[in-house]
Amino acid sequence: MPSSKMKNYRWFIVTMLLIATTINYIDRQVIGLLKPILEKEFSWSETDFARIVMAFSAAYATGLLLMGRLIDRVGTKKGYSIAVIIWSVAGMMHAVVRSVAGFAVVRMILGIGEAGNFPAAMKAVSEWFPKKEKGLATGILNAGSSVGVVAALVIVPWILSSYGWQEVFWITGVLGFVWLGVWWLVYELPSRHQRITAEELALIEEGQDHAMQAAPAIKWSALFRMPHTWAVVTGKFLIDPIYWFFLFWLPSYFASTFGLDLKKPSLPLMVIYAATTIGSVGGGYLSSWLIKKGWPVLKARKSVLLALAMLEFSVILVQFVTDVWVAVGLLSFAVALHQAWATNVFTLAADLFPKESVSSVVGIAGMSGAIGGILFPMLIGYLLDMYKAQGDLQGGYYVIFTLCGFTYSVAWLIIHLLTRTRVPKTA
């Protein structure tokens, strides 16, 4: 590795994390965008596609638990590399399978690999950033989940204009290997890195929570007995499913309520999903700004989470809207608040646990969020079917929006009660 020094190298590292997360979500979204083509080519039913989606969801939930532990064992550089290799190979394998079972298998492999992204990224943040900057760094990398969704809307049609659906999987799969080549050259722990300046190393080391970072790694089984673990789990289990509702049901909501033509590029949906980027970075910046102003770390994170929970009640107002762009405004605000919440919950793991245990905690919490993402759609389907049978489909959506508005406050209260002490007990 070159020995020349680079100022503010940690921000180059977080840029790498942003790009990896973006690629992660591009690979995840491709099959959804190709759904009409694949259904026609292979004569899939909606049930066939649902089984493929569920295969990914189940593997992703399991993978979060396993990959988080693996990354804590082998380290950030190797662990992230393993995850990217698995999901990139799986992404390209989509081009060669032909049956429902084949697609389900490669989606399962993709889910296991993609599950390593956030545990590895948060471990990198815990290693490279002082506590006053962790929130902003997390917000930047988490924005990749939004950028990836929007980027997929551009990349997939562009490839299809010149090639077939197989080439979409080949080309998007290769992106991970390009990133991997750069990652292997540029990443190392700050204390061993040849390109970091002495001033930046001092900033990182002096800005760490020394009592926390000096603590030994916590046994994986012991994490489940700690209230702080369940605080992070709560923030993911109750809230992650709401994002999946926003992601997968908003198109249908706009189609049924405002007559949106889903066969054409949708500016309203692109605006809404782009707003998540603002929320992700803004939520991280706000808590980091409070810490720089002298607020205790935990107080800053929980205060931001409380403010976000209160503001999220605004999503309930969607039921009174008759103009499509007013609905876009309210829902853009709601999804931005959600990503701000997700950023600060991710950062809680880096705040509350030694860096040797961060990936494990993020993995456990991420698995709980994925499980919630499997259960909540069952409730959504039940409510929408019930209201649709009564001739009031919009009424079903309004009930769901109301549930979403209240859930953030319930989650905050549980998190607050579980984190009344700053340092987790390991006994």
Distance CA 220, CA 364 (A): 10
Split at pLDDT 50, 70, 90, the class of 426 is very low
Identify the pLDDT of residue 2: 46
Closest by CA to 397, choosing from 291, 255, 262, is: 255
This prediction has a pTM of 0.77
User: In which residue are the tokens 């999946």 written?
Assistant: 244
Residue 261 has pLDDT above 60, yes or no: yes
Q: For residue 370, is pLDDT > 90?
A: no
When mean pLDDT is compared across 230-234, 247-251, 312-316, 373-377, the lowest value belongs to 247-251
Structure tokens at 256: 């049924």
Q: What residues are paired with 6 via a beta bridge? A: 196
Question: Alpha-carbon dihedral of residues 380, 117, 334, 382, nearest 10 degrees?
Answer: 0
pLDDT tens figures, 25-46: 999 888 887 887 898 899 987 6
Distance of CA 325 to the CA centre of its chain: 26
CA atoms within 13 A on the CB side of 79: 28
> Is residue 294's pLDDT more than 50?
yes
**Six token digits for residue 87:** 């999901």
- Residue 3: the pLDDT is 53
Average pLDDT over residues 308-319: 95
Per 3-state DSSP, what percentage of the chain is helix, strand, and coil (rounded to 5)?
80, 0, 20
CA-to-CA separations, 238 to 233, 312, 378, in angstroms, rounded: 8, 14, 14
| Measured CA distances, 195 to 13, 32, 102, 187 (Å) | 12, 41, 45, 10
Sorted by where each starts, the structural domains of the chain and their CATH numbers stand as 1-208 (1.20.1250.20), 211-427 (1.20.1250.20)
CA count, 13 A, side-chain hemisphere, 153: 15
Task: Write the pLDDT tens digit of every residue in 141-171.
Answer: 988 988 998 888 789 888 988 999 999 999 9
Three-state secondary-structure class, residue 6: strand
Can you tell me the mean pLDDT for 343-360? 84
Supply the DSSP symbol for 43.
T
Residue 165 has what pLDDT? Answer: 94
Q: Is the pLDDT of residue 427 over 50?
A: no
Distance CA 275, CA 407 (A): 21
Residue with tokens 């649709």: 388
For residues 274-301, give the mean pLDDT: 88
Sequence-ordered list of residues with C-beta below 8 angstroms from that of 316, at least 6 positions apart, any chain: 401, 402, 405
**Residue 399: per-residue pLDDT:** 92
Q: Residue 216 has what pLDDT?
A: 64
**Rounded to whole angstroms, how far apart are CA atoms 212 and 161?**
53
pLDDT band per the 50, 70, 90 thresholds, residue 115: very high
Going 206 to 207 to 208 to 210, the CA torsion angle's sign is: positive
Between 17-26, 41-50, 82-91, 416-425, the lowest mean confidence (pLDDT) is in: 416-425
Contact assessment for residue 40 and residue 233, using Cβ atoms and an 8 Å cutoff = no
DSSP alpha helix (H) spans, 75-133: 76-93, 100-114, 117-128
pLDDT digits 0-9 by tens, 34-86: 887 898 899 987 678 878 888 888 899 889 888 988 998 999 999 999 999 99
- Determine how many CB atoms are found less than 10 A away from the CB of residue 199: 11
**Does the structure show a pLDDT above 80 at 377?**
no
CB atoms within 10 A of CB 65: 20
Summary mean pLDDT of the chain? 87
**Other CB atoms closer than 10 Å to residue 43's CB: what's the count?**
9
pLDDT at residue 71, as a whole number: 92
Contact 235, 348 (CB under 8 A): yes
Predicted confidence at residue 54, as pLDDT, reads 80
